[in-house]
């Protein structure tokens, strides 16, 4: 528990509190933990500094995107934050969140590739024939998903499903903002030698204004690939927790994915390699030293 705060919700990685005292009473405190999830399991092992790295990266991106869309951050100053979570938390507005995962894809991979292989489309968007894993799309596309409960998978849906959920005007605005954010971020990342393959965004309403919320453009919500190593037709090396996924699926982990049990604790070398991968993405993108 945090003094002066009421626990509201805990997700796979983040913990949310409502501040009950002081100048920010009524605002939300969002804390990024060092937890890591794979295959919808929250692991017993944590990745040191992960929460702070992702918080810093989100703050950097919110600044880069300030001319594209307003954001929910009120303060990230250490003087405003509880000392125990300073550096890995932000104070933000309490928004009415839209129940849509807003996904932009500039490259074909992951669940989008599975949809394409089955139907030739992603979320109802027809794509050219002959695309493979890692192919760059003719233009970025909006591929929304439903928000799933903890332990469940998000489900890709069509744009019409978003219209049914939030109305035509808001659906169009969410689509246009998602693609605008992706376009700007993709260009910034490319200048730094990184491909932003896709990203998942969340938006909320603040007095009739659509606001970018939660984390933004971190390796937990986005696929980043080294541009120099991009090679369509295979899985791309990525700046995220793929190291952990690969280890968990290897015979050496001793984990049976069909068992219903969570993966075992991570070996020290997997922890270190994963931390370094997050760190590398942060420093390459921001130009800052952690």
All residues at 6 or more sequence positions from 266 whose CB lies less than 8 Å from its CB, including other chains: 43, 45, 244, 247, 274
- Asked whether residue 70 is assigned to any structural domain, the reply reads no
d(CA 54, CA 219) in angstroms, rounded, equals 8
pLDDT, greater one: 147 or 162: 162
- Residue 155: pLDDT band (50, 70, 90) is confident
- Asked whether residue 39 is assigned to any structural domain, the reply reads no
- Asked whether residue 203 is assigned to any structural domain, the reply reads yes
Instruction: Provide the domain limits for residue 152.
Output: 96-229
Which CATH number fits the domain that encloses residue 156? Answer: 3.30.470.20
Q: What is the pLDDT of residues 219-278, one digit of tens each?
A: 999 999 999 999 999 999 999 998 999 999 999 999 999 999 999 999 999 999 999 999
- Asked whether residue 35 is assigned to any structural domain, the reply reads no
- Asked whether residue 243 is assigned to any structural domain, the reply reads no
d(CA 71, CA 82) in angstroms, rounded, equals 22
Mean pLDDT of 70-80: 97
All residues at 6 or more sequence positions from 216 whose CB lies less than 8 Å from its CB, including other chains: 58, 61, 62, 65, 71, 181, 201
3-state secondary structure of 164: helix
- Asked whether residue 275 is assigned to any structural domain, the reply reads no
For the chain, what is the domain count? Answer: 1
Write the DSSP assignment of 207-241 as a string of letters: TTEEEEES--S-TTTEEEEEGGG--TTSPPP-SST
Q: What is the pLDDT of residues 86-145, one digit of tens each?
A: 999 999 999 999 999 999 999 999 999 999 999 999 999 999 999 999 999 999 999 999
- Residue 149: pLDDT band (50, 70, 90) is low
């Amino acid at each position: 528990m945090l003094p002066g705060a009421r626990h509201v919700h805990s997700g796979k990685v983040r913990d949310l509190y409502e501040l009950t005292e002081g100048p920010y009473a009524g605002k939300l405190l969002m804390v990024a933990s060092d937890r890591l999830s794979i295959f919808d399991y929250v692991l017993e092992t944590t990745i040191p500094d992960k929460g702070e790295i992702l918080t810093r990266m989100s703050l950097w991106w919110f600044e880069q995107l300030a001319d594209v869309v307003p954001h929910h951050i009120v303060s990230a100053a250490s003087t405003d934050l509880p000392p125990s979570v300073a550096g890995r938390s932000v104070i933000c507005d309490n928004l009415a969140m839209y129940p849509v995962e807003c996904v932009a894809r500039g490259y074909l991979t992951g669940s989008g590739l599975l949809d394409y292989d089955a139907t030739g489309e992603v979320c109802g968007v027809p794509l050219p024939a002959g695309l493979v894993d890692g192919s760059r799309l003719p233009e970025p596309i909006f591929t929304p998903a439903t928000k799933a409960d903890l332990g469940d998978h998000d489900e890709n849906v069509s744009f019409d499903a978003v219209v049914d959920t939030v109305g035509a005007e808001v659906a169009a605005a969410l689509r246009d903002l998602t693609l605008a954010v992706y376009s700007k971020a993709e260009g910034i990342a490319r200048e730094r030698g990184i491909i932003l393959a896709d990203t998942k965004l969340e938006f909320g309403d603040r007095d009739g204004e659509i606001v970018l919320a939660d984390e933004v453009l971190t390796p937990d919500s986005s696929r980043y690939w080294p541009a120099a190593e991009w090679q369509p037709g295979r899985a791309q090396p990525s700046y995220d927790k793929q190291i952990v996924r690969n280890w968990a699926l290897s015979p050496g982990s001793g984990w049976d994915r069909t068992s219903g049990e969570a993966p075992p604790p991570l070996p020290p070398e997997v922890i270190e390699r994963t931390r370094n991968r997050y760190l590398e993405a942060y420093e390459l993108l921001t130009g800052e030293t952690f």
